[in-house]
A and B are shown apart, each in its own frame.
Chain A
Amino acid sequence: MTEHPTELLLQIADGAVPPPEARAHLATCQRCQQTLAALAPLDLDYVWQGVAAELDAPKASLLERLLVAVGVRPGLARFTATTPSLRLGWLLANALVLLLIALPMALRPVASWPPAMLLAAPLVAAAAVAFAYGPAVDPAYEAVAATPLSPLRALLVRLAAVLVANTALAGAVDLALGGRGPRAGWLLPMTAAALLAVLVASRWSPQVGAAAGMGAWLLVLTGWKASQQPVIWLTGPGAQLAYAVVAAVLLVLLIRRMAREGWALADQTEPA
């Protein structure tokens, strides 16, 4: 077809389906395309660019798609899934460290071996904070810095992801060792160490925060060294209660700090 189907263009713009013999012409004739664009109630080029951009967008990772599937908002899902500490390499390294520490426990009776694993776990958590956020380690840092998500909130989101991942790792190691591994006893001190790290990180850098969290834990460890019963100090009810109190206090401090920084702002400006 060489003639331009002029009146047809008006009808198409109103929603009429062009007859098959006209379709090829419409798709390739620049003049008709231009007229259709002028008549269209929508910006057709803009919409096509949107389609093309979606097709070019990096494929969402399995974790990201899982998060979206359970109802996490897409932006937050991508942010969580890009946490450096959750990358495969980091996870493998974490698992390896946990295994190396836990392996001796598996070979000897638990009672005769100081559960170094339990003692080390909070260190791992605090280290995870260092790799959770910040310009030093995060490929998405520039993008994150340009978003209205407050850095502190960003850190917490990622920390939550890391804690969940580490708990799962510890659980897996525990299972692999036939129940003689770390168990859940480490979760509270780990949380406390991580929260301290976040609190400090919110003032300085994540790396300083991590150093603080690890340092505090090492101090506790040196205190234990004097006693002959580290397991009780870690998993005993009194010790667990103390960790819970410390964690709660740290959490309150964090929330107060976040209130000052204004999470309301971050909430309002995030896409609904």
Chain B
Amino acid sequence: MTGGARAPMDAAGMAAGQVAPSAAADDQLVRAVVAGDRRALELLYRRHAPWLAGRLAARTSSVDLAEEALQDTFLAAWRGARGYHGTGEVPAWLWGIARRRLASLARRQRPGVLSLDAAAERVDPVAGPEEAALGRDASARIRAAIEHLPAEQRAVITAVVYQGQSITQAARAAAVPEGTLKSRLHRARLHLRKELYP
């Protein structure tokens, strides 16, 4: 430790000089974003964009719309980080922005028509994959579900998720075109979802 006698920075107990910004808590990242730190915004994106993408994509059939909403979300977070008072969780804050952005983008596309998705969104039943209990239980259940997959699909999940291969690598290893591999991966995940959240 280089700082010697410096006190711990915050409640997280990380000492000054030791804190890599990437290890900072979400709140700290948001504070850095308020201060205009682009790197902090990127870290926030790497942490939260993947699950936000999953939720947004589940609420619209348009990939373009979901991508636009995701981009808008982080732009809004950049400009409006001051509006985050640290009272709630950062994920809840981000999801609040994201769903509003998606709703208003969808409205602009078809003004006056409230889609079924949007109507469902008003009631806001967050059941299914998003609210799944995360932990050892869930992991065990997922592993069991993967065991039940058809061999081809199980192989794709193993390569991509467990061995960390890219789509390109996995496709080469399986000797199939990337498109084929992607559709196998897609079918495998539909299977898993059906099994895990019937």
Bound state CA distance, A18 and B46, in angstroms? 12
5 A-B pairs (CB sep. < 8 Å): A11-B138, A38-B185, A40-B50, A47-B70, A51-B45
Complex partner residue of A11 from B42, B43, B52, B132, CB under 8 angstroms: B132
Distance to closest chain B CB from A134 (angstroms): 34
User: Can you name the residue of chain B whose Cβ is closest to the Cβ of A36?
Assistant: B50
Beta-carbon contact of B49 and A48 below 8 Å = yes
Known contacts A15-B58, A47-B71; A39 and B66 CB within 8 A of each other: no
Q: Is A13 an interface residue (CB 8 A)?
A: yes
Distance to closest chain B CB from A228 (angstroms): 62
How many residues belonging to B are interface residues under a CB distance threshold of 8 Å?
53
Distance to closest chain A CB from B27 (angstroms): 10
Beta-carbon contact of A11 and B23 below 8 Å = no
Known contacts A44-B49, A55-B78; A8 and B22 CB within 8 A of each other: no
Residues of chain A contacted by B161 (CB below 8 angstroms): 6-7, 9-10, 35, 39
Q: Is A31 an interface residue (CB 8 A)?
A: yes
Distance to closest chain B CB from A236 (angstroms): 50
Bound state CA distance, A98 and B121, in angstroms? 59
**Contact flags A29-55 to B (C-beta < 8 A → 1, else 0):** 001111110111111101110111011
Main secondary structure of the interface of B (DSSP, over half): helix
Residues of chain A contacted by B100 (CB below 8 angstroms): none
Bound state CA distance, A47 and B48, in angstroms? 13
**Contact flags A230-256 to B (C-beta < 8 A → 1, else 0):** 000000000000000000000000000
Main secondary structure of the interface of A (DSSP, over half): helix
Distance to closest chain A CB from B136 (angstroms): 10
* B-contacting 9-mer, from A20-28, A121-129, A258-266: A20-28
User: Can you name the residue of chain A whose Cβ is closest to the Cβ of B182?
Assistant: A38
Q: Is A267 an interface residue (CB 8 A)?
A: no
Beta-carbon contact of B57 and A26 below 8 Å = no
Q: Is B53 an interface residue (CB 8 A)?
A: yes
**Contact flags B53-78 to A (C-beta < 8 A → 1, else 0):** 11111100001001100110011001
Known contacts A6-B162, A19-B134, A42-B63; A13 and B143 CB within 8 A of each other: no
Beta-carbon contact of B134 and A42 below 8 Å = no
Bound state CA distance, A123 and B193, in angstroms? 73
Known contacts A12-B54, A14-B129; A24 and B134 CB within 8 A of each other: no
